[in-house]
Copies of this chain bind each other. A is one copy, B any other.
Amino acid sequence: MLIRKRSTRKFMPTSLSNASEKLGMPPGSLIHVGDIQEEDSRISVIDFNRTELQEPVVETVEELLKFREKDSITWVCLEGLKNVEITELIGHYFKIHPLVLEDILNTHQRPKFEEHDDYLYIVLKGLSLDRDAASVNGSFAVYHEQISILVLNDFVFTFKEKKDDLFLPLVQRIRNGNARVRNLGTDYLTYAILDMIVDQNFLLLDSLDENIDAVEEELLSNPNSNTLVAIQRIKRELIDIRRSITPLRELLSSVQRSDTKLIGEKSQIYFRDVYDHVLRITETTDSYREMLSGLLDIYVSSVSNKMNEIMKILTVFASIFIPLTFIAGIYGMNFEYMPELKWKWSYPVIWVVFVTVPICLILFFKKKKWL
């Protein structure tokens, strides 16, 4: 078996030195590369056809082989990729190309669709809201999990990085004997899985939408430098989301243009449906991006406006009191011959001046629309 380690494919190594080391490592075995380090692996198997359904507990990969003879669809879902041996054995028994196995384990893949002789390989990102990060610092954080799908004649394998309930609704639909998925082949099951993953993004977009609204409200009521940081953080998440989602468009149009026998004529309409969803999602992210740049414009303007406000106060105070202080200064001079100092009405008169000058100035400013 020829599976070499390709450590250099690691996309974002935690540290530079670490990656440099791996660059020189001798090839030999598959390794898992990814940020999500789920300790245990879980294999779930569901085998069904129109009439029967079986959910066996499977301990070893070899146990899967017996389903090959059965006239039924077997969906094997592996969650947790750290134990690379399982993937290696699946690759061995089901004759998967070593490069595909590497791509499954290296979780920094670009979403893509590959058509091989006996199977299809689909890899994409499942995005979900990172609720922990959100609850800690109230910010918006997204979790990018890589999900690989292998579609064979009677088998569908899904490889997930972490254990969760993403596919539970689908499994329940399969358990229900009447569901359409029971009557159709692996292509429809593949569609249902893709649909599940893609539709999850709508939840994400809702949350994004809420965050943008919150930021916008804050911008209009009380803009501060945290608002800018918040805008920037959402923008950055959006860049990542777009990077995960944009290639899906291409992926699904490849699926549709493909003439593989593994996807039947009748299932094409379903894939077109997922494709429409992807288009809607990408267009929505595009418009969020425009909105964010609009928010930035508001922020910059509101900062300028605030400066204007501050300048106005200063100007009012300075422009009014500086002349008055000067007037007071005049009569604080100690010249011997200053006739006004001796007059009896000087002091009341000067108070009249002190009151009328500011009034005139303010009226003048108002008229000039400076205030």
Which residues of A are in contact with B by a Cβ distance under 8 Å? Answer: 2, 4, 8-13, 16, 19-20, 23-27, 97, 99, 108-110, 112, 114, 168-169, 172-173, 176, 178-180, 195-196, 199-200, 202-203, 205-207, 209-210, 220, 222, 225, 228-229, 232, 235-236, 239-240, 243, 269-270, 272-273, 276-277, 279-280, 283-284, 287, 290-291, 294, 296-315, 317-319, 321-326, 328-338, 340-344, 346-347, 350, 354, 365, 369-370
Q: Which residues of B contact A277 (CB under 8 A)?
A: 9
B347 contacts A335, CB within 8 Å?
yes
Q: How far in angstroms is the closest Cβ of chain B from A367? A: 13
Other-chain residue from B4, B13, B236, B314 in contact with A318 (beta carbon distance below 8 A): B314
In contact, A300 and B301 (Cβ under 8 angstroms): yes
In the complex, what residues of B have CB within 8 A of residue A276's CB?
109-110, 112
B232 close to A298 (CB less than 8 A): yes
Known contacts A225-B302, A333-B331, A344-B337; A280 and B11 CB within 8 A of each other: yes
A255 CB to closest chain B CB (Å) equals 16
Check B228–A298 contact: CB distance below 8 A: yes
Query: Would A169 and B334 count as touching, CB distance under 8 A?
Result: no
Question: Is the Cβ of B16 less than 8 Å from the Cβ of A203?
Answer: yes
